[in-house]
Chain A
Amino acid sequence: MKTGFDNLAARLANVPWGETLAAALWLLLVAVAVLAFMATFAGVTTWVERRIAGRMMSRIGPNRVGPAGFLQWLADGLKCFLKEDVIPDAADRPLFRMAPYLVFAGCFGAFAALPFGYGLAASGIDAGIFYVSAVTSLVVVGILMAGWSSNNKWSLLGGVRGAAQIISYEIPAGLAALSVVALAGTPNLQGIIQAQGGWPWQWFAFHNPFASIAFFVFLASLLAEGNRTPFDLPEAESELVAGYVTEYSGMRFLFFLFAEWANIWVMAALIVTLFLGGWQVPGAALPDAGTGRTFWILASAAVFFMKTLTFAFLVVWVRWTLPRLRVDQLTDLCWKVFVPAGFVCLIGSSACVLIPGQGAWHAVHRVVQWGLTAAGFGLAAGLLWRARTNIKNLNERIYLKVWT
């Protein structure tokens, strides 16, 4: 299969160091493309999140800059870049300056392995999920660094909380991911998607009851790892001013927030990749190469984006619904509920690998898969139904006008 890189290398074949140059150029191109996507997503999400938050609180949200306030994120970004960059006198300057970039790098690194569609990923790294969970740990270093170097008790508390929470929640997240790896037989993210099918009952979330539990454990653990509400203790504004970002201003502050919003995509894409069939198009067996490859790339990317944006919405939705947990509740949830559940899921899912591809056990497995799929979609439908009754009980109307 000929890739863009091969074309580039062929063109530069006669130049001395041609192949190295081609590799460097290609690397730069891919990195810039991913960065551009990440920046746009993070920016637009700030506006979308604020609009959603507004409507969920019966407000309107930012609607003055550009059509329906769409350009608010550019205005905010520009404002942050033009602001004075204050570094406290007592701060540890080198660490203080470096911390935002580490947080940013940790988040950006995860994008390298994330799939975007059929054959569409910055790198098809084999260690996939392990790489992602390893590189996002860089965020912990950045947060702890920011907390320590600010020389401020709120920042330090926020940093330590962040470190404690991210490290401890990596265990249930890892266990839940491992149970998927056991089912797929590979930690490669593209491989995990290829091991699933397009239809919901072929997704790993509905593969067996243990995988379904692992799905929820993974979802909650990712929220905790991304410092999203209800696990946003590191920046609990009611207690810690802004936690580890208390002393930051201007561009450095922006980098923290930028990474946080880009992280929404990482979370949603990981969930969709591991549990919800990734970019698999229902009812289509994707060809390896040849005719219609571009079409399939676009179609699969569309499916993947739709699922991922749905889960990005879920992350935002949860943020404006649930109150923040206490520290002891947070650790309780991790060590007393999620870790045991994660181990049970890992063992249970691994046992399900032994189910043969035919015979009575296979039939039972099929029925269980159908049941779980029905339960999962029933849950989603139930939420919509409950929301509708909530509106009806108040004799109000459904109001879908977004562009106010």
Chain B
Amino acid sequence: MQSRFIRSVRDSAVSIFEGLAVTLSYLFRKPVTLQYPDRIPRPIPDLLPETFRGIIEADTAICTGCLACMKRCPIGVIRIEVERNSETKTGTISRFDVDAGLCMVCGLCTEVCPTGAIRHCTEFEGSTSQLINLVLHYVRPGDKVPVCRLSKDSPPQGLKRNEPYRRARTAWDEPAPVPPDAARGEVRWKRRRNKEAAE
């Protein structure tokens, strides 16, 4: 009994000592906090892993117009219109819309795509004042993009990671019916400052 008492006193003293050493060591370590969104070394999309499921993006240059993604989507997020010419066996995509506001990021469309034309990007900041701004037009209204033809000799190449990311940004910014709010606070700040400077 007596020895148990002494042992418990010794154990608590040792564990307090070790515990204090652990917390002290954390005091002298670098904090892991990233101060999102305004004090970060690089934009967060650049820091995310490639497997990150962000907003759906599409590269119409390698799209075959097979509509597999549109059919696979369980909630009708994707809307593609293809005009086919049966004589020349070619076609043009006149519409490729993705409603990022409706998308539930399940990833089924990316699984069925034969060329990797539709995929997730690492962009995720979608806040905007108008929900309609989240309908992304990957083909500009009025444009027509020829479909990509698959040949058995040269299997299609998937896109490199960095290219479609830029493309998605431009597609997002330009063709929306209402000029969208920029997703990032800093851009909003810049705009306001420019406006004030203009006045």
Contact = CB atoms under 8 A, between A and B. Distances in A.
A383 B20 contact: yes
B24 interface: yes
Contact of B19 (A54, A55, A58, A321): A321
Given A58-B33, A60-B33, A60-B35, A321 B27 contact: no
Nearest to A54: B31
B36 interface: no
Nearest to B26: A56
Contacts of B25: 386-388, 390-391
Nearest to A55: B27
Contacts of A404: 31
Interface in B13-54: 16-33, 35
A393 B52 CA distance: 32
Contacts, number: 69
Given A387-B25, A388-B25, A390-B25, A397 B20 contact: no
Contacts of A60: 31, 33, 35
Interface in A370-404: 379, 382-384, 386-388, 390-391, 396-400, 404
Tell me the interface secondary structure of chain A in the complex.
helix
B178 interface: no
B9 interface: yes
Contacts of A83: none
Interface extent on B, as a size class? 20 to 34
A392 B31 CA distance: 16
A320 interface: yes
Contact of B20 (A54, A321, A391, A399): A321
Contact of B21 (A54, A57, A320, A387): A387
A400 B31 CA distance: 11
A322 interface: yes
B18 A59 contact: no
Contacts of A382: 17
Given A58-B32, A60-B33, A337-B9, A52 B20 contact: no
A404 B28 CA distance: 13
Contact of B28 (A54, A337, A386, A399): A399
B40 to A, nearest CB: 13
A78 interface: no
A404 B32 CA distance: 12
Interface in A334-365: 337
Given A59-B33, A60-B35, A321-B19, A383 B26 contact: no
Contacts of A390: 21-22, 25
B24 A383 contact: yes
B27 A56 contact: yes
B33 A387 contact: no
Interface in A252-291: none
B29 A399 contact: yes
Interface extent on A, as a size class? 20 to 34
A205 B29 CA distance: 32
A101 interface: no
A382 B28 CA distance: 16
Of B16, B17, B27, B32, most A-chain CB atoms within 10 Å: B27
A57 B20 CA distance: 13
A5 to B, nearest CB: 44
B17 A387 contact: no
Interface in A28-59: 52, 54-59
A397 B29 CA distance: 7
Contacts of A387: 21-22, 24-25, 27-28
A326 B11 CA distance: 17
B23 A383 contact: no
A127 to B, nearest CB: 34
Contacts of B16: 321-322
A318 interface: yes
A151 B16 CA distance: 37
25 contacts: A54-B31, A56-B24, A56-B26, A56-B27, A59-B31, A59-B32, A60-B35, A317-B24, A318-B20, A320-B23, A321-B22, A382-B17, A383-B21, A383-B24, A386-B17, A386-B25, A387-B24, A387-B28, A388-B25, A390-B22, A391-B28, A396-B29, A396-B30, A399-B30, A404-B31
Interface of B: 9, 16-33, 35
Interface of A: 52, 54-60, 317-318, 320-322, 337, 379, 382-384, 386-388, 390-391, 396-400, 404
7 A-B pairs with the lowest CB-CB distances in the bound complex, closest first:
A386-B21, A390-B25, A399-B30, A387-B24, A387-B25, A321-B23, A56-B23
Given A321-B23, A398-B28, A399-B30, 16 more contacts: A54-B31, A56-B23, A56-B26, A58-B31, A59-B32, A60-B35, A322-B19, A379-B17, A384-B24, A387-B22, A387-B28, A390-B22, A391-B25, A391-B29, A397-B30, A398-B29
